[in-house]
Structure 1
């Protein structure tokens, strides 16, 4: 059991501890310095993960998968976490507990990576619990603000129920199959009612982390009430881990009769509910939250056709990367505008903050899937593998939902360019948040233009061991 196999995860733990120790000795005005050990830990984790890019094996007695999926999960989660943390120093400038934010975020990122790399049901439970417990704290960080407390409480209550269902599901599957090890579970007979019930409960538990029906209700509240760096993190990073964990689960039981139809149904319900709810929002952060729910529905398309379409896994990974970059871009703009959320505040933004207006438009268009942005490639891949896997009706439902999503994004975009500004130019958070927004937006364009050969080379061979 070589400890080096978990080098990236150990780096995150070390960085979290270093940030916490530094926060204990620094005065409040210097707590932003805790960003340095956090970013250093993320950099070490990324380099270590890159060194293990070609690994394809199970380690630590078969509980941890060191493969292409874990590699890409590490890369996406580390990059997304770094972008979120760069927003934090200026946002939490007056917060006495500012330094601890970096520690909680790194531990939450560790939980998300552990979800994606879990090769044992008990390991999966521990990963979900680590991601959840830290997420509750991040959501309710502004404890003197009612919306933040409400977001944290809703996240906690829904999470308590979902995690209990997950544990019950794991117990049922273990009881019927006699093991929690993925290698032993692969292809196991799960036709009994109790085993199928267990699988359904596990899916429900992971749906909570993914922000999908039936565990979706926390997403818009967290998007609105959590600190913007935390909202950006919680609407992106846990989704990556949960989506890949769900894919591994379906890969284990390709012949389970009800599993694929269940996930396909959840996909349609999630994307439809998210898009319809977003149509009526008057708050930009809640709108992005409901949009995030709908994006979870799209991700479930690839999960539903796991192993039915040969490129389902690369399509899922690429979509998750495109979604993460676009969602983080949108939240970086909101952070730069100091959390302005009412849609009225965005009228005439193109005249007062032209760069931020253009950046937000690129983020929204990528979430819709407009070429040449990377979101187009991500959604096109999902549609192709879904049709290839025999779920053409699901692809049609997703296309209709994509058309619906245009309407609520236009509700934000049109006033930015065609309405008069509301008062003076909005105050901004500073250079770091603007830089994150612009760099992420540039990535949306650059990756979209370069994605053809990159997809063929980088994702063509991704597979589970």
Structure 2
């Protein structure tokens, strides 16, 4: 056991930045609240640097409940990097807003909860992290008072509260029959517990985590929030919380229930990817299309999660795919923020009018499909390998069929980009830079996968 606070340096950097930003915002005039964004960005950069240093050290367990291992390292770096991109996207959206400071602070606090969600090995800390990741996100979804996001935020909150209560019930049941809350204790205690009670507890626990992941059956909030929330926040809630959720799901399955885990998650994965793809086919609103795309991607990500404990390919598949998904989804949403267009038809001629932004969108959309040399291609190869090595060939077939089917609705967005522009309008520079950077990161992760996975 190691109880050195320095082991939590990345999390402390984010927390300190959030506190300093909130305190500083109290004394800054409205036109100078942009300085809070600088403080928050500096905290995220410092956290990324600390996470990079921590990744070079040996694995350890801090404070008995916080694991510092490869899963945590990838969670930290991906969450903090994604949050930094969201802060850059949000800067143009909330400039001179009366609550600009609170906007940045809420983003950081939710990101902090997401990191802890993916790093904890204790049910009680899992619940606390779930709440910290969720409550600020509810406020962010409805940040514009009397705006379209208000209804979406209400749906988001009510579904999160309902499934969160079920998660608490599952935690209570599992800790009771497993005689503890730490994952190593549960692994021993649940082995001798009544299987019906274990199944009920696991299903209830999954309710909350699948909600954060945007997977079936907790996916109904995703399209409404993606369409109704501010675009930068839509990018955040469909990207960052998923990172922590999938890390938490993988850790719980690998460390607690390696034998009883695969069948249930495999069925959920198949249902999630299929429903997401079918629902995306008829969408003309690009934010709803991206929302259902994130649901289908959640299904693919659940495949290696289901294989936790069955194959050594499960962990690299989860970690690489979640990082690849994060940069790809942020890149696509950054294009939406940069252009300010929500309808598919409005993207006609984007490649001619803004070549870099249009090309970035093409890279991200092809990345969602799994086209080489993008990062998601490597993630999907690892995902298929994990399913086959875990003796779930039928799940690999379902994923392959869904991948082929998804080509249709991504091409519906790509084809208009090559047409002649109707009303040329220059995209926002800051969001364009985020989109180009995300596309380059996707290509870099794909081309450099051999180095990253060695």
Same fold by TM-score greater than 0.5: yes
How many Å separate the matches in 2 of 1:94 and 1:285?
25
Question: In the alignment, is residue 118 of structure 1 matched against residue 117 of structure 2?
Answer: no
* Preserved CA contact (<8 Å) 1:322 1:374: yes
Q: Which residue of 1 aligns with 2:235?
A: 232
**Which residue in 1 is equivalent to 2:58?**
55
Partner Cα separation in structure 1 for residue 352 and residue 182 of structure 2: 58
Instruction: Give a deviation string over 1:2-35, Cα, whole Å, max 9, x none.
Output: 2222221111111011111222222222222211
CA distance in 2, matches of 1:134, 1:11: 18
Normalising by structure 2, report the TM-score. Answer: 0.96
- Matched-pair contact (CA < 8 Å) for 2:222–2:291: yes
CA contact (8 A) 1:55 1:68 kept: no
2-side partners of 1:165 and 1:131: how far apart? 17
Corresponding residue number in structure 2 for 1:207: 210
- Decide whether the 8 Å contact of 2:373 with 2:446 is kept in 1: yes
Q: Are the aligned partners of 2:16 and 2:43 in contact in 1 as well (CA < 8 Å)? A: yes
Is the 1:278–1:290 contact (alpha carbons within 8 Å) kept by the matching residues of 2?
A: yes
Compute the displacement of 1:427 (Å). Answer: 4.6
Unmatched runs of 5 consecutive residues or more in structure 1 = 457-465
Moved more, 198-207 or 19-28: 19-28
Q: Distance in 1 between matches of 2:280 and 2:70?
A: 35
Q: In structure 2, how many angstroms separate the alpha carbons of the residues matched to 1:372 and 1:56?
A: 31
Aligned to 2:430: 432
Q: Which residue of 2 aligns with 1:463?
A: none
Larger displacement relative to structure 2 (357-366 or 26-35): 26-35
Does 1:273 find its partner at 2:272? no
TM-superposition CA deviations, 1:305-337 (whole Å, max 9, x none): 112111210111000011000000001111111
- 1:108-187 alignment, distance < 5 Å: 108-146=110-148, 148-187=149-188
Q: CA deviation at 1:421?
A: 2.7
Cα distance change of structure 1 residues 3 and 255 upon mapping to structure 2, 3 Å threshold? closer
Structure 2 spans left out of the alignment, 5+ residues: none
Alignment of 1:293-442 (within 5 A): 293-338=295-340, 340-418=341-419, 420-422=420-422, 424-429=423-428, 431-442=429-440
Give 1:253 deviation, angstroms: 3.3
**Corresponding position of 1:454:** 452
Distance in 1, Cα, partners of 2:236 & 2:58: 28
The aligned residue for residue 462 of structure 1 is none
Distance in 1, matches of 2:410 and 2:188, equals 43
What is the CA–CA distance in structure 1 between the aligned matches of 2:401 and 2:163, rounded to whole Å?
Answer: 30
- With structure 1 as the length reference, what TM-score do the two structures score? 0.94
Give every structure 1 segment of 4 or more consecutive aligned residues whose post-TM-superposition deviation is greater than 3 Å.
253-257
Instruction: Give 1:291's match in structure 2, choosing from 290, 293, 303.
Output: 293
Match in the other structure for 1:44:
46
Shift in Å at residue 446 of structure 1?
2.0
1:250 alignment partner in structure 2: 253
Aligned-pair Cα RMSD in Å: 1.3
1:228-271 CA distance string (max 9 Å, x none): 221111111111101010111111334543x3211101000100
Tell me how far apart the structure 2 counterparts of residues 91 and 77 of structure 1 sit (CA, whole Å): 21
Kept in 2, the 8 Å contact 1:349–1:421? The answer is yes
